[in-house]
Chains A and B, each alone.
Chain A
Amino acid sequence: MKVSSSVFASFCLIFELLGLALFLRGFFPVPVKSSFSSKNKLSDLPAEPLAGNGPNSSKVPPPLFKRVVIVLIDALREDFVFGPNGKKYMPYTRHLVERGSTHSFVAKARPPTVTMPRIKALTTGSIPGFIDVVMNLNSPALHEDNLLWQAKTAGKRIVFYGDDTWVKLFPKHFMEYDGTTSFFVSDYTEVDNNVTRHLDSTLKRDDWDMLILHYLGLDHIGHISGPHSSLIGPKLLEMDDVLKKIHAALISKEAEGTLPNLLVRLGDQRSTPAGARPSPEINTPLVLISPAFKRKAGMEKPSVVEQVDLAPTLSLSLGLPISQNSVGRLIPAVFEETSLREQLRVLHLNGYQLSCLLRDSTLAYQKEEGYELFRVAEKSHGNWMKLYLEGNTSETLSNMGRKVLRQYIDALKAMSSALSRQLGKYDMYSMVVGTVLLVQMLLLLLLAMPEALSGAAVVDVPVGVALTSLPFYLLCLLCAALHVALCTSASASCYFCGLPWALVFAAIACSAALACALVTMAARRLAPPTKSPSKVSSPGWELSELDMLLLLGTVGHTLSLGASSFVEEEHQSWYFLLNTLCLAVFQDVCRKYFRERRRASQGGAGGDSDDEEQLLPSCKAAGPDTSPLADLGVSRGSEKWLALATPPLTLACCRLLRSLNQTGIQWAHLPDLSHWLNSGDHKVVLSLLSMASLALVFVLVQRRCSAVSKIALALGLLGVYSYRAAAGSVLFPWQHSSRAASKGTMEARFVYVFVLGILFTGAKDLLHSQLVSAEARLRGRGLWEVYSGVVLLIALLLRPHNLPTLACCLLVQSLMAQFIWKRLHYDAAQTTIMHYWFGQAFFYFQGNSNNIATVDISVGFVGLESYVEAPAIFLTALSSYAGPLLWACHLVCYLSSERDSRSSAALGHGCYCFALLRSVPAVFYVLLVTALRYHLFIWSVFSPKLLYEAMHTLVTALICIFFTFMDQSPSPSRA
């Protein structure tokens, strides 16, 4: 079956996407959940176990504490309190920890450590699954069973001050709240004063039961000036004072209350702990202070608990049911002072909740060690209760009770770890099937390379041969048998097994056919040398320095993905490669212009002349009819200097953009231009900069549009500016009245109309040229109009400080196209690789990184009144991948003009190279992630990158389909 290169490439990419989807489904565990919406109720609580029959109490144990104050301090590390400098930084806390009636712990938190999942983990006690983070980027209200809901239902009044993520998560739970946005990282005083200023009045009042304070200032200091900043000391002292104030107020109330109060202070970590890299387990201090605890004699080494343990502990000590999906186990030290019966009772409640969760989330729960231990403990608890109720008070009873206690603790530990393990389990079968599909596609692409890059750009896929061969049927049978065997075996819970059988067998047949086709193609590749050895040696596949660089760069970048630091700092590799590429291009330009002069003076020498003569006629032939310089008004003499100036200019642009957005992990805290521009004091500069950028965009894009599109573009860009002005990020020069800040929805919709209009005009031109006239000029214009529509849309979506990125992108594109790619006769493959590299670099110039936290979700609201899922996702994806998308669009425009002038196969080659460039890292990365699935950084570093890779493959596949569509049209050579 013969297909053109572009069709072949799109086909491969689509299959790769399917493989990738299957792999992702197997790779990301489904979170451990009993259910999403049901909640535990007091009435559902189990009765105290009792052997035999008798009146057993089914009431909840009485609350230990009357009031709770929770103080959360972002980015508070445990060594600030427990470390050697604790006395200096936080004297009062340290004193309490050493001498007061407190319990102190080191709480281990697990990634992903983004604010929202962190708060979820604290309140629900569940470990946030990775998918949770991705699915809930826009933090909607929390519907899962959680501590705050339970407290509110029990009639407790909650007051909250601090990070407004809480307010979004728990919209109706607080009696009183004041949210502070964590968006302005540069502010570290106001953000905390806003919390502290309510404190005095609130502490005096008696009308609340639970007070939650969330301080962000320390974290912001870490973001601005790094973990060793001199600002940290004063900030810690401030926090210490806050604690002292609260503690004093609570103690003064103590006398009146019947039950003691509890003060919880917890360090928490958000996205990036104070500039340092996220370690897989983050240690934060947890200090519980209450007169109910025994006074301590001196500093002890704090024991280690999980952060999720806090939720069940708080629930039980407040007399509330434990939230349903909690995987934490209570901290026994808190209940030390209560009677043995009560201790056993709370342990039983916690165990019962965990066993229910285990039963709901595991099929073979009865085989679990923890479950059995719990059953045993429950039974001996019953026996103990019987003796206890009989009035037995002997020594043996308390010994027996302590034994039951230990049994319970062991059971809790085993069940909790079984539940956590659930999160780390991979569906290997789906993963393997996905990987096999991916690898097959990559091999297919690689084997087809000589044909796909040949002059005809046609690939012969031997499907017919494969389908009629015997090995195909054998392979089908084998795989089907294997599938049946795997899926009918015990404890199989694969996603792939859950699919309908017909679909699975179709997939198996497809894969088997591909395998046979691959073997046939490989055999064909190996065969020819014996027949015609001359044909192999003759093609001019000699690699220039540039080719070497492009090849080694691609391979080197792919290999670098194996190191977690290189994944985190991937932008550095791209910037580095791009710089080197520009220098190599610069060398090529110099060689071209200076060698020509030398040639003129000396005459051709040796092997050079052939090469030159091949190039020169085509150069002359191409010169007049393309005439790219005419529309810029550049004379032939200055062309040389412009060509020489282009690479240095590109380098300068790249350096500028690089300092615009600081991304990655290690240097993310360094100040960058975007912070400076957005800081509020420099609004004028930002306005001027975005205005200049928009003007430059207009100048660069309008050249090849029709008159109507030009006007639409100009109005659209004006609309973009007024949208930003309405949203309040830039100044509007002729309007000083401070209107009520509208969201700019009208302006944004106005721009959308123009975008659609331009896209429509472009599509109309394209269709016309495709179906009716096959006129190259019309098609070029249509393509360019589609391109300018995309540019306008992206201009709308990018934040004002990122508009220079767009302008620079267009500038570099037009300069490179005019003076480098056309002049130096780079072939389609080389141009494609360069476009791909530029696209990657611009992806990071925009401020993206391989971390989920840098996705700008606010884009999803541009022009929309409220959150609507489909357009929001589309817009977010579009703006995140603006760089690669723009370069790919430019590639289509460039190659299709190239096709009209020089090589008819340019589009096919470009499409094929594009697909290959994407497949190589994607497939390599999938293999790598499979191999590293037990690596320490798998969740924090490698998984987000996997999602980015999958998304990028999706974008590339769409572009390749567009390529194919453009390639299908009747070319002038055939017409």
Chain B
Amino acid sequence: MENTLNSIIAAAAPLVIMTMGESITEKSGVVNLSLEGSLRLSAMTGFAVAFWAGHAFAGFVAAAVVGAAIAAIIAATSIRLRLNQIAVGFVLTLLAADLASFLGDSLVGERGPRVPPLPIPVLSDIPFVGKVLFDHDLVVYASFLAIAVTWWHFYRTRSGLNLQGVGERPEGAFARGIKVNTLRFWYTVLGGAMVGIAGAAYSLDIKLGWRETLTLNLGWIALAIVIFGGWHPLRVAFGAYLFGALQVMAFQLQDVFPGLAQVLPIAPFPLMILALVFVYSSWFRRIGDRLPRVRNLFGSEAPAALGTVFERE
């Protein structure tokens, strides 16, 4: 049991980092649709740089830069040129994925450095909890940190409140002296960098090496999980762990039920759709009117200005 939980938490770590990043981006009102491509290109770049430099850390830095650069294109073309974020994001999805395949072709099958395990002394000796939470490597600890910091930033800091204001009602934030587009740009870049880090985590930590199908569909799934989690860091993290559990289960069951193992990784999308339909249903709305707490627990409201362009005139 503790071993299973341990592997779920490890398997979900990159997904957690990526979904936190996308939550930050979307809270500021920008959609970075390119995750599927960003993830692949950063996984490839991260692996390539780590492979040549002989050090995993260099790979993470390079991957973060790649993710940030793609995000910067989406933010800049939206802010400066009023291009549709979905359109640019979609083009970049395909472009980055193909770039990864093309440039990474010669790296397929190579073995590179990996992130060393780093059990935390003392804490990892605690029975059960120690094994589940503290017997991991830096990537997993970073994923814990990502959840905590994202949550703390959203709900406990001034800048986090400003961030939410920018995504909710940019003209209101602007009237309060907040630099809407500057914030949007940098939060999008930050979110993109986190996606990049997640990409490197796949090629340098979860699975070692680069191949095209390394992160297949995980970018799309991350987008779904952010919606499923209603843009709330803790609920988003819950969604990521739920998916991690499905992945681990699929892996463990693949000898027993080969069919099921194929189906489980696809499950999050239909699940998310069902969840969305459920929240939209009149039945749920009736319950929500009577029990506001239930509504607040499950209902998810997108940042009102998500995907829109803000101009002062």
Note whether A and B form a binding pair. no
